[in-house]
Amino acid sequence: MRDICNKPLRVFDANVVEFLGELSAELLKSPLVRQYPDLSAFAFYVRKANLAKLREQLKLEDGRLGRGLCFHIAPANIPVNFAFSWVFSLLAGNANVVRLPSKPFPQVDALLSVIQSHLSRNLELESRNLFVRYPRTDNETTAAYSAIADCRMIWGGDRTIASVKALPSMPRCVDIAFADRYSVALINGEAVLAADDTQFSRLIEGFYNDTYLMDQNACSSPQAILWENDSPAARKRFWTAVEALARKKYVLQDAVSVDKYTLLCEEAVKNPAVKSFTRVENLLYRAELSSFPDNPVEHRGKGGFFFEYALKDRSEFFAVVTEKFQTVTQFGIDAEELRQQIVGHGLRGIDRIVPIGQAMNIGVIWDGCDLIRALSRMVNV
């Protein structure tokens, strides 16, 4: 194991911001960003101007600096997530050990080689940042990094979290764990009907990207669609367009077809709240609910399988929200009003309200947590 510096830097350290700006510029110039949209999103995120804006929005106090060394367990299946996790901690002023996804992804290798070549020209940052790849089953290595970490960013679900938390860490080590979460879409039917062509096609594209693009596997992908001001016309306009776009773009894997059909059979047997199913080939499955179930989290869709419910009243929804709820993607909803209701009702879940289409946009406020503040400390005077 290489010796790694654990001396904190200021939040948004000038050298760090400069470094990320250069990294972004190089990535945006390279053909890689056209090849990999996720890499392109990352390159845009670490633009100098965006970082300046971010800093402004965060209104960070004076006297903030990193906690020391942060150990990142990146998720296995979202390739570029490791880089976001790293950047949040870097901006918070930490040195980093980043465990890369164990599965090989071309965009991970491509991004990593650009990062490494930049680091090699920045001795200070090079000594503070280490990217490692080892088998997931190698618990000894995870234990060794855990033992020296001042904070741990643990992605990848409940079981990973349990296994990493079971490893000894320093008494003041801060763990930020990204658990399995559940998300829904909240759609105003009248707004769907009122949308002009541009707004409407943006809605449908956005919904597709939130769901089909990752087979609904992401925590922030909506599993259930909740309708307000529901009408058959709104549903028809929405689903006809979703179906048409999915037909054009979605690659349905054979195994996902079987999973989806199996899920439908299981739901038919086990979920008394399902009133009826609508199937468009194996492309789009919809399960209409007669009531919003008490445990919606246990009913997840997959690859274009949606639960649907017409809300009579928003409190019906709030009644079942648990700490598992993460994102509400919305269309035609007053987000500020919804936010006030979540706070006012003292809900244990829902950390995020974003327009449909932004479910996957990861940011420095994630899972209800201001990551820059959580990963840094403040010197109080």
Partner 1 sequence: MTLDELWAHPPYDLTAAEKESALSGILSERIRSHYANCEAYRKILDSLGFDPQANHATSDLPFIPVRLFKTLELRSVPKESIVKTLTSSGTSGQAVSRIFLDAENVRSQTKTLNAIISSFIGKGRLPLLLLDTEMIKKDRSMYSARGAGIIGFSIFGRDSTFALDADMKIDVEKVAAFFEKHADEPILMFGYTYMIWQFVVRALEDAGRKFNASNAILFHIGGWKKLKDQQVDALEFNKRVQGVLGNVRVYNYYGMAEQLGSVFVECEHGHMHCSNYSDVIIRKPSDFSPAPIGEKGLIELLSVLPTSYPGHVLLTEDEGEILGIDDCPCGRKGKYFKIHGRIKAAEVRGCSDTFEKK
Applying CB under 8 A, which residues contact partner 1?
73-78, 81, 101-102, 136-137, 139, 155-160, 163, 180, 213-219, 221, 252-259, 261-262, 264-270, 274, 276-277, 281-283
Q: Would you state the structure tokens that stand for residue 41, as one six-digit string?
A: 């999103």
Beta-sheet strand order (sheet of 182-188) = 274-280, 284-289, 305-310, 222-228, 182-188, 325-331, 352-355
Cα–Cα distance measured from residue 381 to residue 379, given in angstroms and rounded to the nearest whole number: 7
| CB of 345 vs partner 1, minimal distance in Å | 28
| CB of 254 vs partner 1, minimal distance in Å | 4
| CB of 209 vs partner 1, minimal distance in Å | 12
Contacts of 4 (CB under 8 A, 6+ apart): 69, 95, 97, 127, 128, 130, 148
| CB of 156 vs partner 1, minimal distance in Å | 3
Q: Would you state the structure tokens that stand for residue 286, as one six-digit string?
A: 């919809």
Which is closer to partner 1, CB of 155 or CB of 200? 155
Which is closer to partner 1, CB of 266 or CB of 334? 266
Which is closer to partner 1, CB of 229 or CB of 282? 282
Cα–Cα distance measured from residue 133 to residue 129, given in angstroms and rounded to the nearest whole number: 14
Antiparallel, parallel or unpaired: β 95-99 and 69-73:
parallel
Which is closer to partner 1, CB of 201 or CB of 253? 253
Partners of 222 in the beta sheet? 183
| CB of 139 vs partner 1, minimal distance in Å | 7
Contacts of 354 (CB under 8 A, 6+ apart): 327, 328, 329, 330, 361
Which is closer to partner 1, CB of 245 or CB of 252? 252
Which is closer to partner 1, CB of 217 or CB of 229? 217
| CB of 356 vs partner 1, minimal distance in Å | 18
Contacts of 222 (CB under 8 A, 6+ apart): 183, 184, 185, 210, 211, 216, 306, 327, 329, 359
| CB of 283 vs partner 1, minimal distance in Å | 8
- Nearest Cα to Cα of residue 74 among 89, 91, 53, 63: 89
Which is closer to partner 1, CB of 61 or CB of 266? 266
| CB of 289 vs partner 1, minimal distance in Å | 13
Nearest 5°: the CA angle 33, 38, 44 is 65
Task: Give the total residue count for the chain.
Answer: 381
- Nearest Cα to Cα of residue 36 among 75, 80, 77, 76: 80
Which is closer to partner 1, CB of 254 or CB of 313? 254
| CB of 83 vs partner 1, minimal distance in Å | 14
Which is closer to partner 1, CB of 276 or CB of 380? 276
